[in-house]
Amino acid sequence: MGRYESYVLPRCINLMCGAKAMRPVRSRSMEGLSGVVLELGFGSGTNVGLYPAEVTRIVAVEPSADARKLAAKRIARSAIPIEFVGLDGQSIPLADDSVDHALSTWTLCTIPDLSAALSEVKRVLRPGGRLFFLEHGLSPVPAVARRQARFEPWQKRFAGGCHLTRDMASLLADAGFVVDDLAEFDLAGPKIMGHMYSGQAVPV
């Protein structure tokens, strides 16, 4: 991993995803979380301070050492205990049925083998647990979707493997989840990056 991927990219993501304007969108996506929560792609901790009061513990998966360093101050201020438990969402070192819910905010776009990661989420969720998600992905507007497809190879190269064309609702359904409470909307900014999927998914 070069200097760009290990040092520059985590700071860019911290600035973009940690922007104040993103906080209300993040907060809405977490409504209903409780108990022990597995957070995929913890990053620099930009969700810290937004978890509902019913959350008792966060177990975090994050591959970037620099992102974990950036998260240290936020973790130190957190009223909720936070523990890093793994580096790879495709292989989560937790026991079966060990977490109440899972959370992913702008993470599923970057995981190379998304099917493997979602299988792991299903494995560690307790009965009745849900995956809460906020993701960007494929636009329903054909002209925008075509631009996403053209730009995606560059996006993957410079944004840590981030895909622009993943249809998150369909991918979750293909992985054996029933998606409910789904909202699709567009954020202000570049259209190729602005189409959002937010909701909850229940394993079946």
CATH number of the domain at 141, please. Answer: 3.40.50.150
Residue 7's pLDDT band, with cuts at 50, 70 and 90, is: low
| Dihedral, 162, 137, 102, 65 alpha carbons, nearest 10 | 20
For 183-201, the pLDDT digits (tens) are 999 999 899 999 999 999 9
For 36-82, the pLDDT digits (tens) are 999 999 999 999 999 999 999 999 999 999 999 999 999 999 999 99
Task: List the beta strands (DSSP E) in 28-97.
Answer: 35-40, 55-61, 82-86
Residue 16: what pLDDT?
Answer: 74
Residue 13: what pLDDT?
Answer: 76
Report the pLDDT averaged over residues 149-172: 95
Report the pLDDT averaged over residues 87-97: 95
Instruction: Fill in the DSSP letter of residue 164.
Output: S
Q: Which domain holds residue 102?
A: 3-203
Residue 158: what pLDDT?
Answer: 87
- Main-chain phi, psi angles of 74, to 5 degrees: -65, -40
Q: Cβ distance 21 to 42 under 8 Å?
A: no
Residue 181: what pLDDT?
Answer: 86
In single-letter form, the type of residue at position 22 comes to M
Q: Cβ distance 105 to 42 under 8 Å?
A: no
Task: Report how far residue 18's alpha carbon sits from residue 11's, in angstroms, rounded to the nearest whole number.
Answer: 10
Residue 21's pLDDT band, with cuts at 50, 70 and 90, is: confident
Task: Report how far residue 135's alpha carbon sits from residue 144's, in angstroms, rounded to the nearest whole number.
Answer: 17
Q: Cβ distance 172 to 137 under 8 Å?
A: no
> Would you state the structure tokens that stand for residue 95, as one six-digit string?
């026991």
> pTM of the entire structure?
0.93
Domain count, the chain: 1
Residue 29's pLDDT band, with cuts at 50, 70 and 90, is: very high
Task: Report how far residue 194's alpha carbon sits from residue 88's, in angstroms, rounded to the nearest whole number.
Answer: 26
Report the pLDDT averaged over residues 143-154: 97
H and E: helices and strands count for the chain: 7, 7
User: Which sign does the torsion angle of CA 191, 110, 45, 177 carry?
Assistant: positive
Per-chain mean pLDDT for the chain: 93
